[in-house]
Amino acid sequence: MNSATAGSPVMDALPSVNADRLPLLLVPVLALVALPLMGSLSTWVTLTVAGLAMGMIIFIIASGLTLVFGLMDVLNFGHGVFIALGAYLAMSVLGTMTGWTASEHLLLNLLAALPAMLVAMIVAGGVGLAFERVIIRPVYGQHLKQIMITMGGMIVGEELIKVIWGAQTIPLPLPAAFRGALLLGDAAVEKYRLIAVVIGLAVFAAMFWVLSRTKVGLLIRAGVQDREMVESLGYRIRRLFVGVFVAGSALAGLGGVMWGLYQQNLTPQMGSQVNVLIFIVIIIGGLGSVGGCFIGALLVGLLANYTGFLVPKVALFSNILLMVIVLLWRPQGIYPVAKR
Amino acid sequence: MSAPLLRLEGVHTHIGAYHILHGVDLDVAQGELTVLLGRNGAGKTTTLRTIMGLWQASQGSIRFDGEDIGACRTPEIAQHGIAYVPENMGIFADLTVCENMLLAARGARRAQDIDERRLTWIFGLFPALQKFWQHPAGLLSGGQKQMLAVARAIVEPRKLLLVDEPSKGLAPAIIQNMIAAFRELKQTDTTILLVEQNFHFARQLGDRVAVMDDGRIVHSGAMAELAEDEDLQQRLLGLSLAAHQ
Ligand SMILES: Nc1ncnc2c1ncn2[C@@H]1O[C@H](COP(=O)(O)OP(=O)(O)OP(=O)(O)O)[C@@H](O)[C@H]1O
Ligand SMILES: [Mg+2]
């Protein structure tokens, strides 16, 4: 039986594996292009680290959202509420441990910061579970309603935050050992930004591992491409989606903690402020692509810092500009997901 | 004859406002290959999708292996032991051939867990899959994708295969491979419901045949009977040619 298949000419054309590596160059190219414009190497180092830190935080926040859209075509404009929720929760948790956060000991700082992040992730994940049940599930497949009801959910969430924590801006100081800067040659690099980069890389590595090495990850990637086929193979995609939604909400909570510490103060609207940014990032990356989201987030972070220094007036719309340019190059984003 | 493995009775399917299936009655006997023929737009794909639960039947009953699956969701239906090869093949283009197969093997958590003897058998049927095992499935040719789609359906034993036009868009040489593969599959007593336009393909494989038109089964019987009766072919399939133009 097999001999019939082996020799036929059509079979022998060997398609080459040529993974799309071009986008991986975007981040280094942007950084290198900026270098001569900066005037001094130390400024460039400072801004680049700041940009990468910002990009990593945005990635942590946006990574779940891109999968939520990819898997179920759900447009969740309420994602920002988990950011604010995470940040406020962390503030409350850290507030109970001022002895440890004020200490100069890194270990004590971490002992305070880790539970704060954990609580933010767990509660944001739990609220995400409820959000999916109550707000998202009734509007599966109806984009207009999704936009309206998730925005509504976000407004309600913001008001609840005001009820619990008040409407005023609340300072969120960094734990003592995270403050200050390291000197790399002439360049001052804030410690917290390095920490943010490390955490961002860790989250990316973990997601990459899950998506490429585990069966659940495989199912998620397959589901983003062809939901019906995943179901036809006998898997419950709804369950998978709920899991992804909860994980995405928890990551948004974590990102919220990091964003709050980055800004060092909190407002109930901080979620909606980041919302636009994360949508730009996932559109740049290609809806449903985690790798694209990562690159998009780093580009947005770097560009915001570079333009903020060079041409502050452009900084206001540099993200939009970046999105336009990327979409002119690749209309479906950096890594278009093969959908049927 | 024992009770059929799959029995559709009076199945109606609506897609949105359109009434597509108008009372489909269809039996698929255990261990046989049943071919579903019919002109374009007759409702063959819709019938398979309704069996899979991808469209909900609005009326009628679908019994599989002694159970009513009409109200089940797609994943449950698959778990009952039905594998589906859709018309568009449903290949995950960004995943490798290996990853595509791993997803189809529900019992396997890693590629190493896939039953090796079965895999060897599949590689015998479709050597290209072994050759391109680690390649993204999106890079396969149309024929190779079709092979992968069929291979996914048989990577674990299933009670029933639903296969939608496996010969679609394939060169004659590849169609011959496909026929050989299905012949071998038949040796394993797998029950198959095969949608086909290509009568040449269909007559070489089918034990039984059902012909569809306008959302109904208009003829069903033994394939041998239809293959010999030119009048009947003319009436059933000539009609399909006329409807093409
Ligand atoms: N999603 C849909 N929405 C509306 N009508 C549909 C849809 N899918 C199929 N139809 C209609 O249902 C009828 C049957 O379609 P179906 O795909 O089942 O035919 P088929 O027998 O498989 O045809 P072909 O041989 O061309 O694949 C056609 O008239 C088609 O236009
Ligand atoms: Mg069809």
Best interface-test mutation with A: which of B92, B101, B114 has the largest number of A CBs within 10 A?
B92
Does B87 fall in a domain? Answer: no
Q: How far apart are CA B25 and CA B115, in angstroms?
A: 37
CA distance A236 to chain B (A): 6
Does A338 fall in a domain? Answer: no
Q: In this structure, what DSSP letter does residue B110 have?
A: S
The reported pLDDT for the residue numbered A8 is 39
The reported pLDDT for the residue numbered B243 is 44
pLDDT-derived band at A17 (thresholds 50, 70, 90) equals: very low
Interface of B with A in 69-88 (CB under 8 A): 73-75, 78-79, 84, 86, 88
- The secondary element (H helix, E strand) that includes residue A256 is helix A237-263
Same domain, yes or no: B56 and B123: no
Q: How far apart are CA A319 and CA A296, in angstroms?
A: 10
> Could you give the 3-state DSSP secondary structure of residue A288?
coil
Same domain, yes or no: B208 and B123: no
Q: How far apart are CA B4 and CA A154, in angstroms?
A: 54
Buried-exposed string B221-242: b where 16+ CB fall within 10 A, e elsewhere:
eebeebbeeeebbeebbebbee
* Pairwise CB contact (< 8 Å): A1 & B79: no
* Pairwise CB contact (< 8 Å): A2 & B136: no
Average pLDDT, chain B: 92
pLDDT at A87 over 90: yes
Name the residue range of residue B150's domain.
Answer: 93-154
What percentage of chain A has pLDDT greater than the value 70? 94
Contact A270, A260 (CB under 8 A): yes
* Pairwise CB contact (< 8 Å): A17 & B73: no
Interface of A with B in 14-43 (CB under 8 A): 14-17, 19
The reported pLDDT for the residue numbered A183 is 86
DSSP-assigned beta bridge partners for residue B216: B213
- Please list, in sequence order, all residues whose beta carbon lies within 8 angstroms of the beta carbon of residue B114, skipping any fewer than 6 positions away: B101, B102, B105, B108, B155
Concatenate the DSSP letters of all residues of A178-240 into one string.
Answer: G-SEEEETTEEEEHHHHHHHHHHHHHHHHHHHHHHHSHHHHHHHHHHH-HHHHHHTT--HHHH
pLDDT at B245 over 80: no
Q: What is the ipTM of this complex?
A: 0.92
pLDDT at B85 over 90: yes
Does A306 fall in a domain? Answer: yes
pLDDT-derived band at B2 (thresholds 50, 70, 90) equals: low
pLDDT at B172 over 90: no
Among A12-16, A215-219, A240-244, whose mean pLDDT is lowest? A12-16
Buried-exposed string B47-69: b where 16+ CB fall within 10 A, e elsewhere:
bbbbbbbbbebeebebbbbeeeb
The token pair that represents B240 in the structure block = 């399909």
The reported pLDDT for the residue numbered A98 is 84
* Pairwise CB contact (< 8 Å): B104 & A233: yes
Name the residue range of residue A78's domain.
Answer: 23-329
- Please list, in sequence order, all residues whose beta carbon lies within 8 angstroms of the beta carbon of residue A2, skipping any fewer than 6 positions away: B123, B124, B125, B127
The reported pLDDT for the residue numbered A337 is 84
Counting ligands in written order, which one lies closest to the CA of residue B47?
Answer: 1
Does A12 fall in a domain? Answer: no
How many other CB atoms are there within 10 angstroms of residue A269's CB atom? 17
pLDDT-derived band at A15 (thresholds 50, 70, 90) equals: very low
Question: Using only C-alpha atoms, what is the Rg of chain B?
Answer: 18
The reported pLDDT for the residue numbered A1 is 36
Q: How far apart are CA A38 and CA A325, in angstroms?
A: 22
Q: How far apart are CA B128 and CA B114, in angstroms?
A: 18
Task: Give the distance, in angstroms, between the CA of residue A46 and the centroid of all CA atoms in the same chain.
Answer: 22
CATH value at residue B64: 3.40.50.300
**Which of residues B154, B170, B200 is at a domain's end?**
B154
Pocket test for ligand 1, best of B20, B211, B241 (most atoms within 8 A of CB): B20
B232 or A86, greater pLDDT: A86
Does B1 fall in a domain? Answer: no
CA distance A215 to chain B (A): 6
Contact A118, A235 (CB under 8 A): no
Does A257 fall in a domain? Answer: yes
Interface of B with A in 174-203 (CB under 8 A): 174, 176-177, 180-181, 183-184
State whether the beta carbon of B43 lies less than 6 angstroms from ligand 1: yes
CATH value at residue A114: 1.10.3470
State whether the beta carbon of B41 lies less than 6 angstroms from ligand 1: yes
Angle at A116 between CA A172 and CA A155, to 5 degrees: 65
The token pair that represents A288 in the structure block = 């449903």
**Which of residues B154, B172, B194 is at a domain's end?**
B154
Best interface-test mutation with B: which of A233, A237, A337 has the largest number of B CBs within 10 A?
A233
* Pairwise CB contact (< 8 Å): B124 & A228: no
Same domain, yes or no: B74 and B105: no
Number of domains within chain B: 2
For residue range A151-180, what is the model confidence (pLDDT) as tens digits?
Answer: 999 999 999 999 999 999 999 988 888 888
